[in-house]
Amino acid sequence: MKGWMGAGLAAAVMATSAPALAQGNNWNTPTEPFHVIDNVWYVGTEGLSAFLFVTPEGHILLDGATPQGAPMIEANIAKLGFKLSDVKVLLNSHAHFDHSGGLAQLKKDTGAPLYAMEGDVSALEGGFYLGSESVHAMDAPPVKVDRKLKNGDTVKLGGFTLTAHLTPGHSRGCTSWGTTLHDGGKAYEALVFCSATVAANRITAPEQYEGIVGDYRATFAKTKTMKVDIPLAPHPEFFGLLEKNAKAKADPKAVNPFIEPAAFGALIAKLETAFETTLKERSAKGQ
Ligand SMILES: [Zn+2]
């Protein structure tokens, strides 16, 4: 269990209707950057992912962790020998302070434009948690969105393509980023899955945002049809990314451990059960 349900996710899954702050104690702990697979590098902190997609024409950086995490991401990019000024596009999984909090700093320091799903634009630009605008502990430094994305839009750079899959609920514009990656002469479908935990969201009236329950259910239905060979996520413990890195280091000749086709469906099933259970409990309590 520990592999998929680390402290951050456990707290998030079990959060009650109060705007719980499932603050992970390792969110702002630096960790060594590492190669994931193909052109993908992990440049996040110990508890919050950030991914660098390297192309011949510059790089795409997905997620910014917290404001305190941004300099750690920058240091990790430099440590790998890449230049901050070669980051040409900034992306976000979702507009929550633990993944968007560092974007303003990263935008300033890279000069790269930020592309984001339209449902999350107001929260990114306003620097708030949508539906909890008065809970300032969940604020993030406001950051301007330069290109508004819709479901299915693609981001292309240097012959590399990422597809934006809208998987709403956890946030209104929650975006899972898909691409095809290669390893050992084979092609694999990779997805950086946004999230579908209930976390701090109110899923009974007054809803966090209008239509949130239908959004979660649409996301579960959609993700069940997706084939994912390489599951990645903004919280590394969703798919045990740091453990997989340790495994890859210990046995570099083995099959890349980040290829794990059964993991995505298993996580979605657990998240759906957790969501429906929480909804039932809160509805019964009139919360
Ligand atoms: Zn979140």
- Ligand 1 geometric centre to CA of 195 (Å): 7
pLDDT at 104 over 80: yes
- Rounded to whole angstroms, how far apart are CA atoms 262 and 89? 31
At residue 169 the predicted structure's pLDDT band, cuts being 50, 70 and 90, is: very high
* Residue 25: per-residue pLDDT: 87
**Could you tell me the domains of the chain?**
7-284 (3.60.15.10)
DSSP string, 3-70: TT--HHHHHHHH--TTT-----TTTT-----EEEETTEEE-S-SSS--EEEEETTEEEEE----TTTH
Residue 271 burial by Cβ neighbours in a 10 Å radius (0-12, 13-18, 19+): buried
How do residues 174-220 score in pLDDT, each as one tens digit?
A: 999 999 999 999 999 999 999 999 999 999 999 999 999 999 999 99
- Ligand 1 geometric centre to CA of 56 (Å): 31
- Ligand 1 geometric centre to CA of 199 (Å): 7
How do residues 207-247 score in pLDDT, each as one tens digit?
A: 999 999 999 999 999 999 999 999 999 999 999 999 999 99
CB 12 within 8 A of CB 197: yes
CB 229 within 8 A of CB 190: yes
- Rounded to whole angstroms, how far apart are CA atoms 38 and 261? 17
* Residue 12: per-residue pLDDT: 44
- Ligand 1 geometric centre to CA of 94 (Å): 6
- Ligand 1 geometric centre to CA of 183 (Å): 30
Count helices and strands in the chain by DSSP H and E runs? 8, 12
Choose among 169, 49, 148: nearest CA to 102: 49
- Ligand 1 geometric centre to CA of 68 (Å): 17
- Rounded to whole angstroms, how far apart are CA atoms 3 and 239? 7
